[in-house]
Amino acid sequence: MRIAIVGAGALGLYYGALLQRGGEDVHFLLRRDYDAVSRSGLKVFSINGDFELPVVQAYRSPEEIGPVDLVLVGLKTFANDRYDELITPLVGEGTLILTLQNGLGNEEALAQLFGAERIIGGVAFLCSNRGAPGEVHHLGAGRIVLGEYCPIDPERVVSLVTMFTQAGMECRSTDDLKRARWEKLVWNIPFNGLSSLLQHSVDQLLSVPATRKLVRELMLEVICSANAQGLSKPIPVEFADSMLEFSDKMGFYKPSMQIDREEGRQLEISAIFRNPLVSGAQQGLEMPRVEMLATLLEQIESSFISGGSSD
């Protein structure tokens, strides 16, 4: 399969590298890592075993890549206004577009531009960070859940699941993409929010009883709102405890939003916080703790964005 990786950060580099190692024809759209990857390839440091791709197909523009079978979108959601610019040159008659981005609203935005029939949604439970240019560090997890945005042909998702699985990833399909997205938010909202706000890693948050309690309260708030969204089956309260147990095993880990704040980049507030808040409000539910986090993060973001920091 001819695949384009759009948004080659830690997620895009890691999954793209696995797909290339698995024999797929992968093309990376790069910015920061272009020179290093073009010169020396891509190095993956993983808990599952390190590996190196000495030759990688790297590009500066989507026009250089041309139409592909699959566009894998790993952009930070604050760059979604570049969908048209970055993806249109990659789309041919039968192209599928798979978004593995965080939060809510990504499938809807892609469907408006390229048609709902092309869009596959994915939720990635991945702990990874970028290293030096041309390097990515896989620190834990990596499971992917895939589902059609507009149910047309489930065999398309089955084929993608098979491809990811054969490339060495744990991957499964779902008939309820919305539920999978909200399950990811149960983790993303408290840990991305609090880690960015307090600049504490996951293990630091969990080691202090007060912040551990706050993490769980935020999770329960998200679960309550999720279960008002017409899911195929509710997310049980016990899911919060399983997420805490999962997180305890991570050890030292900085969520992506914490790293973005440290490096003075824009934060994914709309997709991860504001869009879920809107969805909750539409069902008559408030999420006061999530609202507080969103408001404080917006204040933090405005201070360093107005100060001239940029990616």
The answer to whether the beta carbons of residues 284 and 96 sit under 8 Å apart is no
Q: Which of 130, 152, 175 is the last residue of a domain?
A: 175
Residue with the two structure tokens 């509710």:
234
pLDDT digits (tens, 9 = 90+) for 26-64: 999 999 999 999 999 999 999 999 999 999 999 999 999
Q: Do 18 and 138 sit in the same domain of this protein? A: yes
Q: Do 268 and 238 sit in the same domain of this protein? A: yes
Q: Do 10 and 57 sit in the same domain of this protein? A: yes
Q: Domain tally for the chain?
A: 2
Q: What is the pTM of this model?
A: 0.94
| Residue 274 domain boundaries | 178-306
**pLDDT for 93:** 95
Q: Do 159 and 186 sit in the same domain of this protein? A: no
pLDDT digits (tens, 9 = 90+) for 203-230: 999 999 999 999 999 999 999 999 999 9
**pLDDT for 99:** 98
**b/e per residue 144-183 (b: at least 16 CB within 10 A):** bbbbbbeeeeeebbeebbebbeebbbebebbeebbbbbbb
Q: Do 145 and 22 sit in the same domain of this protein? A: yes
Residue 304 above 90 pLDDT? no
Other beta carbons less than 10 A from residue 13's beta carbon: 29
Kind of pairing between the strands at 135-148 and 119-130: antiparallel
Residue 269 above 80 pLDDT? yes
Establish if 311 belongs to a structural domain: no
Establish if 110 belongs to a structural domain: yes
Please name the residues in contact with 93: beta carbons below 8 A apart, sequence gap of 6 or more. Answer: none
pLDDT digits (tens, 9 = 90+) for 68-100: 999 999 999 999 999 999 999 999 999 999 999
Would you please indicate which residues are annotated as catalytic (active-site) residues? 184
Give the gyration radius of the chain's Cα atoms.
19
Residue 113 above 60 pLDDT? yes
